[in-house]
Amino acid sequence: MGRRLKFIVAYDGTPFSGWQSQANGNGIQDHLEAAFEQISSEKIRVHGAGRTDAGVHALAQCAHADLPEHRYEARRWVAALNGVLPPTIRIVRASFAPLAFHARFSANAKIYRYRIWNGEVLPPLEHGRAWHIRDDLDLKAMATAAKLFVGKHDFKSFAANRGSPVDDTFRTLHRVQLRRTGHVIAIEFDGDGFLYKMVRLMVGTLARIGLGDASPAEIRDRLEAPRRIISGGRNAAPASGLLLVRVRY
């Protein structure tokens, strides 16, 4: 009988078409499945905790795969997979999990971090790692507004259309934290789940508040009347600043 391998994946999302398998074969999922097939000579399906968009990075995406036979110990799979994966995708660690475990459906919460470089010049090594905003941002106003996202709300107006309707658009954010270190503003979101482009749309709104182009009242209005105010993905922060930090089980 096969075993279920649970593994943590880190990746630079810049050269890929997002997590989900794509027709062009350039999804993170495609590369992982190709690596498993190269090692085992069998097609193995990989399931991830979340579908990060094109250009979004991950420190600790969680995934699982059902292996057809007891070939290697978990640590051997780490070395074998990293030996054939692109260098911008790395298996950080792995362990065997009960068959009842599911990377997506067993998850209790996810933590995302968004990075803004708030300075005149974006260093080359920050290209593709942060959203460059030259004008001064009012961090205090952004932090105060961010508190409005905490709690259980209908985030329909902070979501874009992925192509298929989502019946339940209520999500609970446990924490939204802003901190500034030099030119870098990091915004961390800890929640039980996130809709398509939800983090990027929240960041886009906070940035407009920080620039003085919007007020916190916009957040209150969009959370209180989500069916009336639909974003459609407009004003979303760029994907390059977003990072999946952790999945909690």
Catalytic residues: 53
Spell out where the chain has E strands.
3-11, 46-48, 57-67, 89-97, 109-117, 131-132, 151-154, 170-181, 184-191, 242-248
Tokens of 172: 């609970």
Tokens of 216: 């916190």
Tokens of 94: 């792995």
Q: Which residues have C-beta within 8 Å of that of residue 6, sequence separation ≥ 6?
A: 62, 63, 64, 94, 95, 96, 97, 101, 103
Q: Which residues have C-beta within 8 Å of that of residue 126, sequence separation ≥ 6?
A: 117, 132
Any alpha helices (H) in 45-153, and if so which ranges? 74-84, 139-146
Number of helical H runs and strand E runs in the chain: 5, 10
Question: Do residues 75 and 94 touch, judged by C-beta distance below 8 A?
Answer: yes
Instruction: State how far the Cα of 113 lies from the Cα of 203, in Å rounded to an integer.
Output: 10
Question: Which residue's structure tokens are 């209908």?
Answer: 154
